[in-house]
Amino acid sequence: MEENNRLEQKIAGILNDARASYATHNRKLKELSLLRSKSSSLSLFFSAFSKTLTPLFDFQRRLAPAERTVAFVSAFAAARDPAADSDEFLDLFLRFLLLAAPSANKTARFRACQIVSEIILLLPDDAEVSNDVWDEVIECMKLRVRDKIPGVRAFAIRALSRFVNDTANSDILDLFLEQLALEQNADVRKMIVLSLPPSTATSQVIIDCTLDVSESVRKAAYCVLANKFPLQSLSIKLRTVILQRGLADRSVAISKECFKLLRDEWLTKCCNGDPLELLKFLDVETYESVGETVMQTLLKADLVKLQNGASIQQYISSGDAEDGNSMHCAPSIQLIEAEASLYWRTVCQHLQSEAHAKGSDAAATMGTEAEVYAAEASDKNDLLEKILPATVDDYIDLVRAHINAGSIHRFTCRQLLLLGAMFNYSDATNRKSASAFLQELLHKPPEHEIDNEGNVVVIGDGLSFGGDNDWAQAVARLARKVHAALGEFEEVVLAIIEELAQPCRERTADYVQWMHCLSLIGLLLRHAKSMRLLQGKAIEPDELLQSLLLAGAKHAHLDVQRIAVRCLGLFGLLERKPRAELLKQLRISYIKGPHQISVEACKALIDLGMWHGPQEVDRVLNPHISSKITSEKRSFSPVNFSDLERDLDVDTLDLLFGGFENDDWADSLTGNEDECVHAVLGEGFAKILLLSDNYPSISPSLHPVILSKLIYLYFRDVSDHLQRLKQCLSVFFEHYPCLCANHKSCISKAFIPVMRSMWPGIYGNSGGSSFMVSQMRKRAVQASRFMLQMMQVPLYVKETQPESENGSTEMPQIIDRCSEVPFDCGEEGLALRIAIEVTSFHSKKTAAEKSYVSALCRILALLQFRLSEQGPIKLMRRLLSRTVECVSTEKDLVKELNRLAEHLMTADRQPDQEFLQDEVNLILGKLEIDFNLDLDGSVAMPQTPAAASTRTRVSRRRVRIEDDDSDEYSPAFAVPATQQTVRSRSQRASKTVAMSKMSATRSVRIDEIEEQEEEDDSDVTSEDSDEY
C-alpha cells in the first residue's frame, strides 16, 4: 500500500510538470519510463498510473494544459519499454481506455477516444499488440463513429484512419462513406475526408466534398487531392472539375489551396513546370474554359516562362513540315496542336491586356512614373509582335492551312481566328488580304455528311454560322476588326447574303443552302448595330424578312424552321417596333410547331416582350387595346391552343403563361436535357419578376400568380432533370426577396395559392398511393419552409454589389426588416393570411384537410410579430383562438400556438382597448382579403384537457452529482480518491416511453400541465445529453 501511494504521488508530479510545457516532455518521458521499470510489478504501476490519470476524464474544456497531458500520456503509451519483451503496458492501457469509451459520461468518452487515436497514430509499425486488443479497439471505435457527440465521432474516425487501408477491414471504408453522407457536423466531415484513402472508390466522393457548405471541409478535400492523388490517377473529367470548382471558389483560402495543388503538385511535379504539358492532361478541346482559366491563373502568377525563340512564327518560318502533317497544308506550314493553340492565344491576349493597362497607367500619370509605365507597355507590345506571325498574309496562310487540314483541326482554327483581332488592318494591303479571306469563310457552306439512309445531315447545332456559336463569334470578331468602318461590316455580309439568297428565293435551294443563308443572316442580325445600317444595301430588310425569314419559318424541314424562327426573334429586337406579320408567325410557331420549334418561338416572344414591353407587342396586333384594362388584370386569361384564330388575339403574357398548362412541353428535347418550353418560360417569367419595375404595364396583381407558378415549377418532381432551370430559379429566389418590400408582399400573397396547388387531396388536387401522397406532402412542406425563409431574409440597401479596393466583391448592405417593411409585406401579413386560411375550414375535415391545416399551423408558429404593428397583433389574437380549435387534437402543435398567443398577449400594449370593425377592415383591405370576423368573440385560448391515463404517474427523480468543472483551470493531478468516475452506461427506457407515462389522471389547467410536463421531462432526460 505504501509503494502504491508513493507511485501515485510521483506519477502525479510528473503529469503536473508535463502539462505545463511541451519542452519538458522528453525528460519527463524518461523519468516515467524509469519509474515504470523500477516498480515491483507492472500491474502495480498501471494501477497507480490509471488512478492518477482519472481526473483528466472528467475535465471538459479543451485547454492547452489538458491537451499537453493527453499528448504526453499518448507518447508514453506508444513508446515501447526497452527493458520489456512485449508491449504489455500498452495492452493494459488500451483495455482501460476501452472501458471508458462506452461510458455514460460524454467527457470520459471524448478523452478515451482522443487518447486512443493519439496512440494509434504514434505507434510504430513494429508495435507488438495482441490481435484481440486490436479487434476490440476497432470494434469500439466503429461504435463511437455513430456517437451523438461530434468530438467523439471525430476522434473515433481519426483512430480508425490507420486501419482503413487494411483489406481485412474493408468495412471501415464503407462505414466512413456511409457516415460522410449523413454527417451534419463540419469538423467530423473534415476528419472523414482527411482519413479517406486514395482509390477509385473515394476519388469521386472527395471531389464531391469540394462543394461542401463548410470552407474547412472544402479545403481538406483539396489538401487530400493534392497529397494522395497524383495527376495521372485522375480522369480528365475529374481533373477539370477540381480546377473549375477550386479556382472559382468564393473563398480566397480555397482558391489558394487549389492554386497550390495546381502549381506544386500538377505543374511542378507532374509536368516539370511546363504549362503546355499540363494542358495536355486537361483535354482543352472538350474543356476549353477550364484550360483558359488555368492559363490565366498561371499567367497572373508569372509562372509561364517563354523559351527563347518560342512563338507562333516557328510554325510558319520553316519550310519543312513533318511527315503526316503536311498532307493537306502548304509546305511551309506546320500544324499546331490544340493545346499549343490555346496556349498561344491566352499568352497573346494576356500580353495585349497588360500592354493596354500599362499604357492607360502611363496616360494617367506624369513624369518618371509615366515613362516607366510607357516602357513596360512598349516591352509587352514588342514581345507580342515577336510571338504573332510577322505579316497578315502569314497569319492567313496559317489559318487557311488548318482549315484545309479538316475538321480535326477546327479547334485550332478557332483559336487562330481569335488571334486575328490583334493585328492592325489600317494598311490597305492587309485589309484587302483579310477581306478576301473573310469572303472565303463566309461563303463556306456548313459541314455535312451522308447518313446510312442516304440523307444529308448538317454537322453542328443547326443554328449558328459554322454549326458552332463559338466559331460564329470568332468569325464575327475578325470581320468586325477588318471592316471597322461604320456600316462596312453590314454591307459586306449583306452582299454575301444576297448571293446565297438567290436560290432560296427561286425555291431551288436544298435545306443545306437554306441553313447556310439563314445562319449568316443570324450572324448579321446578332452583331448589327441598328436596323438603319441594313437599309440601302444589297438586300433590304423588308426583302430579308418576307423572302427569307418568313418563308424559312414555313419550310418543310424542321432545322430550317428552327433557325428561321431564331432569326425572326433577332430581327424583331433590331426594329424599333416589331411587325405584325413577324409576331403572328412567331405565335403560330409557338402554338402549332413541334416542340423544338416551340422552344425557339417561345424564346423569341419572351425576348421581344422584355425588349419592347408586353403592352407594345400586344398593340402591334391589337391597336385598340386599353392600357387601363391591362394594368387592372388580376389573373391570366385561359388560352385554348386548339383554336388558332382566337389565340392570335390574346395578350402575349396570357399566351406564354398558358404554355405551363401543356404537360407535353415539360419534357426536355432530345439531345438537350436542359431545353423545353417550361424551362424557357420559367427563366423568362423569372426575369420579368426580377425586373418588374421596368414593366409598369404588367398588373402587380399578376406578380403573385407568376411567382406561385415559379415556386410550383421549382419544387415539381418533373423539373429535377432540368438542371439549368433549377440553377436559374435558385439564383432568382436568392435575390428576389431582398430587393424591395413589394417582392415580400408578392411572396406573402403567393404562399396560400402555392400550398393549395401542391397539397394532395384538397381543392381538386389528385392524390394517389400512400407513398405518392407522402412525397407530395413533403414537397409542399419544403416549399412552405422555403417561402418562410424568403420572407425572413433582410432587404438590401443597394441592388448593386460594389467592389472593394482589393477587387473582391462585397455583399450588399442590408437593412433591418423590422423597421422598413410594412405589415402586409412582412411576417405579420403572412401570419394573418395563414390564420384566415385555417379558420376557413369546417370543423369536420378530411384527412388531407387535417394534414394541410396542420402544416400551415406549423409555419404560423414560426412567424414573428413586431411591437410596432399593434393592429395586426390584436387581429391575430382573435384569429388565433379559432385557429387552435382547428388543430386541438395535436398537442405539440397546440403548445407552439399557445406560446405564440402568450407572445402576442405580451406584445399587445393596450389589451383592454376596443378593437373596431373599421380597423379590421383597414387591415384586411391592405391584405386584399374578404373575411368576416366576429369581434364579440373571446381572445382567450381554448382549454385543452389532458388525455386520461390508466396508470398513476410515479414521480421519479434521479439524484445527480453535479460536476464542478472549472472554465479556467485544468485539473491538477493528485492522488485520487477511491470514487470510480468512469462507469458503464446505464440502460434506461427511451424518452418516448417515459413521456407516455407522465399524464395525470385528473384534468388540470393547460398551464399547470405544461409546467408539470417540463419538470418531469427534465427529470427523466437529465442525463440523456450525456449519452450516446
At 795, phi and psi to the nearest 5? Answer: -90, 155
Q: Read off the pLDDT of residues 765-815 as tens digits, 9 standing for 90 and up.
A: 888 889 999 999 999 999 999 999 999 999 886 544 444 444 444 444 544
Structural Rg of the chain based on CA atoms: 38
- Amino acid identity of residue 1009, one-letter, is I
Rounded distance between C-alpha atoms, residue 568 and residue 161, angstroms: 63
pLDDT at 983: 39
Q: Give dist(CA 541, CA 64) in Å, integer.
A: 80
DSSP codes of every residue in 248-265:
T-SSHHHHHHHHHIIIII
Cα 387 to Cα 525: distance, rounded to the nearest angstrom: 34
> β-pairing, 456-458 with 814-815?
unpaired
**pLDDT of the residue at 237:** 95
Look at residue 155 in the predicted model and tell me its pLDDT. 94
Q: How confident is the model at residue 956 (pLDDT cuts 50, 70, 90)?
A: very low
836: number of Cβ within 10 Å = 20
The better pLDDT of the pair 310, 670 is held by 310
Contact 681/659 with Cβ under 8 angstroms?
yes
% of the chain surpassing 90 pLDDT: 58
Residue 844's pLDDT is: 83
What's residue 621's pLDDT? 87
Closest-CA residue to 141 (of 122, 160, 118, 154): 160
* Separation between Cα atoms, residue 403 and residue 139, nearest integer Å: 66
Q: What is the pLDDT of residue 958?
A: 43
- Model confidence at 626, pLDDT cuts 50, 70, 90, reads low
Q: Residue 338 contacts by C-beta under 8 Å, 6 or more apart in sequence?
A: 284, 285, 411, 412, 415
Question: Cell numbers at residue 747, please?
Answer: 411572396
Q: What is the pLDDT of residue 225?
A: 96
For residues 464 and 519, the answer to whether their CB atoms sit within 8 Å is: yes
The pTM assigned to this predicted structure is: 0.79
- Convert 497-520 to b/e letters by CB count within 10 Å (16 or more is b): bbebbeebbeeebebbbbbbbbbb
Lowest mean pLDDT among 685-689, 785-789, 966-970: 966-970
Query: CA 546, CA 439: separation in Å to the nearest integer?
Result: 26
Alpha-helical (H) ranges within 79-144 are 88-100, 106-122, 131-144
Residue 664: CB atoms within 10 A of its CB come to 10
CA 788 to chain centre: 20
Q: Which of 253-267, 301-315, 870-884 has the highest mean pLDDT?
A: 253-267
Question: Which residues lie below 8 Å from residue 673, measured CB to CB, with a gap of 6+?
Answer: 721, 722, 723
Q: Is the pLDDT of residue 822 over 50?
A: yes
- What tens digit of pLDDT does each residue of 500-512 get? 999 999 889 999 9
pLDDT at residue 1025 above 50?
A: no
Residue 248 has pLDDT above 80, yes or no: yes
Nearest 10 degrees: Cα torsion 181, 186, 187, 192: 20
Eight-state DSSP code of residue 971: P
Domains and CATH numbers, the chain: 1-197+951-1007+1014-1028 (1.25.40), 226-305 (no CATH), 307-423 (no CATH), 425-554 (no CATH), 818-927 (no CATH)
pLDDT in tens, 394-426: 999 999 999 999 889 999 999 999 999 999 999
Nearest to 110 by CA among 56, 63, 161: 56
Structure confidence by residue, pLDDT tens digits, 978-1005: 334 333 444 444 444 444 444 433 333 3
Output the nine-digit C-alpha cell for 225.
Answer: 487531392
Rounded to a whole number, what is the largest CA-CA distance in the chain? 118
- What whole-number distance in Å separates Cα of residue 302 and Cα of residue 263? 11
**pLDDT value at 857 more than 70:** yes
CA 441 to chain CA mean position, Å? 41
CA distances 448 to 247, 456, 459, 460, 497, Å, are 38, 7, 5, 9, 20
Question: 670 — phi, psi (to 5°)?
Answer: -70, 125
Residue with more model confidence, 847 or 805: 847
CA 216 to CA 193: how far, in whole Å?
A: 11
Mean per-residue pLDDT for 534-558?
Answer: 94
Residues 629-675 have pLDDT tens digits of 566 788 898 888 876 555 567 889 999 999 999 888 888 877 666 78
The dihedral of CA 536, 542, 547, 552: what is its sign?
Answer: positive
pLDDT number for residue 1024: 38
Q: Which residue is listed with cell 403563361?
A: 657
Q: Across residues 1010-1028, what is the average pLDDT?
A: 38
Regarding beta strands 456-458 and 795-796, do their DSSP bridges make them parallel or antiparallel, or are they unpaired? unpaired
pLDDT above 70 covers a percentage of the chain that reads 85
Cα separation, 293 vs 346, in Å, equals: 9
Rounded CA separation 399/416 (Å)? 6
Length of the chain, please? 1028
Check residue 893 and give its pLDDT.
Answer: 92
Q: How far from 973 is each of 49, 58, 95, 495, 879, CA to CA, in Å?
A: 11, 12, 22, 95, 63
* 450-456: average pLDDT: 80
Q: Identity (one letter) of the amino acid at 103? A: S
Q: Report how many helices (DSSP H) and strands (DSSP E) the chain contains, helices first.
A: 47, 4
pLDDT band at 130 (very low <50, low <70, confident <90, very high): confident
Report pLDDT digits (tens) over 330-350. 448 899 999 999 999 999 999
Instruction: Note the pLDDT tens digit of each residue in 336-394.
Output: 999 999 999 999 999 999 999 999 999 999 989 999 999 999 999 999 999 999 999 99
Mean pLDDT of the chain: 85
Q: Positive or negative, the Cα torsion across 465, 469, 472, 476?
A: positive
Residues ≥6 apart with Cβ < 8 Å to 477: 417, 418, 420, 421
Residue of 252, 338, 264, 254 whose CA lies nearest to 298: 264
Contacts of 350 (CB under 8 A, 6+ apart): 295, 296, 299
Which residue has cell 433591418? Answer: 816
CA distance 261 to 266: 7
Q: Are 471 and 458 in contact (CB under 8 A)?
A: no
pLDDT at 449 over 90: no
pLDDT for the residue 994 = 45
Task: Name which of 146-150, 438-442, 941-945 the model is least confident about.
Answer: 941-945
State residue 810's pLDDT score. Answer: 46
Please report the DSSP string for 502-531 in residue order: HHHHTT---HHHHHHHHHHHHHHHHH-S-G
